[in-house]
Structure 1
Amino acid sequence: MSAHVRPGSRALSRLLEAGLTLWLLATLCFVLLRAAPGGPFDTEKAAPPEVQAALATQYRLDRPLIGQYAAWLGDVARGDLGPSFQYPDYSVNQLIGNALPVSALNGGLALLLALALGIPLGVWAALRAGRWTDRGLMFAAGLGLAIPKFVAAPGLVLLFAVTLQWLPAGGWGEWRNVVLPVVALALPNIAYCARLTRASMLETLSAEYLRAARARGFSPARLLFAHALKPALLPVVAWLAPALINVVSGSVVVEQVFGIPGMGRYFIQGALNRDYTLVLGVVLVVGALIVLINTAVDALRGWMDPRLQDAS
């Protein structure tokens, strides 16, 4: 029999694990950025040597690599992600503070749309397993998974913005600007959620306790909503963590296509311009979000299935 782990000890262990993960992620990203060819001020090579020296001193680039790393790590420990190299009028904290709500809105709406459509479609397909409607839905879901975001996003722009002229092709500031990016982010997740829900529902419907409840004369609606739906959704809840991570990573492409001032766009621009502090700040924030997402999903799964808490 395994020893019972106290909730406080489990929380402390997860906190230490999260801190170690973020430190390793930040350190690896720091080393890889410095190892890449080029620098943030390559365009200033024609400037006088004293200007180049002043820039290097201002951004600590004149220090040894270990000195730069220690100074940056000390700033991060105080909650300061440092100045941006390419946006001198803004700190990284300010840039991320402006971009994070935009990415969170797009990602959150995309995931809600995926759940709102994927779960009912998956249940509907499972209840009609083997029929042409089920096959057609699963074919469409497979097609949705096969089309990458860098194809789906321009395709949506071509159809709804250029051809039909129903929605704007890009920009930010109005609700109409949100529709196409959210749909582009949600499409593969809708497809995967529908397939996952269908497979889980089919397995649940064939369980022994469902057969016993059916033999007792329970109505199909009661069987579905009171007995089958909650256990069938456990795999979907477990999928929420990778789904959110997929939304975060997919926003890089979508935000570039639609010209959205979000985290993904700043990450791409920071990487291209060798803006070390901006890239590291985005990586740290995204990494922290992923850790929080995994923790929240684990807690939700434990609430839905107490056996998972006993096994941990």
Structure 2
Amino acid sequence: MKRFAGRLLEALLTLWLLATLCFVLLRAAPGGPFDTEKAAPPEVQAALEARYRLDRPLVAQYGAWLGDVARGDLGPSFQYPDYTVNQLVAQALPVSLLNGGLALLLALLLGVPLGVWAALRAGAWVDRALMLFAGLGLAVPKFVVAPLLVLLFAVTLQWLPAGGWGEWDNIVLPVIALALPNLAYCARLTRASMLETLGAEYLVAARARGLSEARLLFAHALRPGLLPVIAWLSPALINIVTGSAVVEQVFGIPGMGRYFVQGALNRDYTLVLGVVLVVGALIVAINALVDALRAWMDPRLRDA
């Protein structure tokens, strides 16, 4: 119980520091949310600033916003006046979770078997070919991969739509664009970990006693060999979250990444802060789940 309370306090402190830093940086950036309203009469400008508390001192704005967040209210959106940030997040979060979850699942379902296969064929042409493609997958950034996928599968072959949302075929290209770098890293990480595990002394002794390679792999090597992959899930999630901003913009997907980019460009303070808080809370929760999964797979970590 004490450990859980400590983790919860640490998570809340992390989210508070993240929100405070984002609040300060947004206010320090040049420009404001209503710079395009300069032609409006002064009384209209004053009314807008009063409505969104921009006429108050910065400390008062911060205190009022923090109080609203404590009550679960992320505030009104500056650029979407008909919606609150809670409503925008409620619309965008399931979209991003679907894309990100499928991308991570695809990376694991393909990356782990390919990495194990490469480790079992270490030094062979299959191993070299797989690692070559994995290196290319890591080298090409998402803002290059996404347009290339559109050019190939949407424009040239016309197999899939170039963007939009609402049908199953709208999901395919964004998921592939998000998954490719993580798939490549997962394959390389699995290969390296499995090579180290397969060379362990206890497996060499078990092999000498006549155990089959299949039993060695599935009963003794796979679980410890996948521990680094489990630990990698947290940075993989962060990589998907950061990559979604690019992918959602390219494919016109109404997700969290797109709202974050649009909010930052339009100085929509409450929208950016709301997205940062929700994504930060999601990452903290995923980190806790990954730690629990690692402790279940490796008993040595339970008392750490």
In the alignment, which residue of structure 1 is the partner of 2:123?
Answer: 130
Gaps of 5+ in 1: 1-7
CA distance in 2, matches of 1:24, 1:199: 36
Q: SS at 1:170's partner residue?
A: coil
TM-score (norm 1): 0.97
In the alignment, which residue of structure 2 is the partner of 1:36?
Answer: 29
Q: SS at 2:262's partner residue?
A: helix
Kindly indicate whether residue 83 of structure 2 is the aligned counterpart of residue 83 of structure 1: no
CA distance in 1, matches of 2:188, 2:106: 15
Please list the CA deviations of residues 190-222 of structure 1 after superposition, one character each: whole Å capped at 9, or x if unmatched: 100000000000011111111122122211111
* Off by >2 Å, runs of 4+ in structure 1: none
TM-score (norm 2): 0.99
CA distance in 1, matches of 2:105, 2:32: 40
Kindly indicate whether residue 225 of structure 2 is the aligned counterpart of residue 232 of structure 1: yes
Q: Which amino acid aligns with 1:204?
A: T
* Aligned counterpart in structure 2 of residue 24 of structure 1, from 13, 17, 20: 17
CA distance in 2, matches of 1:104, 1:63: 36
Which deviates the most, 214-223 or 257-266?
A: 214-223
Structure 1 residue 284: Cα displacement: 0.5
Mapping 1:260-299, distance limit 5 Å: 260-299=253-292
CA distance in 1, matches of 2:93, 2:270: 16
Please list the CA deviations of residues 134-165 of structure 1 after superposition, one character each: whole Å capped at 9, or x if unmatched: 11110110010000000000000000000000
CA distance in 1, matches of 2:242, 2:101: 13
Mapping 1:241-256, distance limit 5 Å: 241-256=234-249
Q: Which amino acid aligns with 1:80?
A: D
Q: Which amino acid aligns with 1:9?
A: K
Q: Which amino acid aligns with 2:177?
A: A
Structure 1 residue 126: Cα displacement: 0.4
Kindly indicate whether residue 90 of structure 2 is the aligned counterpart of residue 97 of structure 1: yes
CA distance in 1, matches of 2:50, 2:198: 67
In the alignment, which residue of structure 2 is the partner of 1:153?
Answer: 146
Kindly indicate whether residue 207 of structure 2 is the aligned counterpart of residue 214 of structure 1: yes
* Aligned counterpart in structure 2 of residue 56 of structure 1, from 49, 52, 56: 49
Q: Which amino acid aligns with 1:145?
A: L
Gaps of 5+ in 2: none
Structure 1 residue 248: Cα displacement: 0.7
CA distance in 2, matches of 1:60, 1:244: 35
CA distance in 2, matches of 1:48, 1:144: 54
Please list the CA deviations of residues 57-97 of structure 1 after superposition, one character each: whole Å capped at 9, or x if unmatched: 11001100000000000000000000000000000000000
Identity of aligned residues (%): 84
Q: Which amino acid aligns with 2:88?
A: L
Task: Compute the RMSD of aligned alpha carbons.
Answer: 0.6
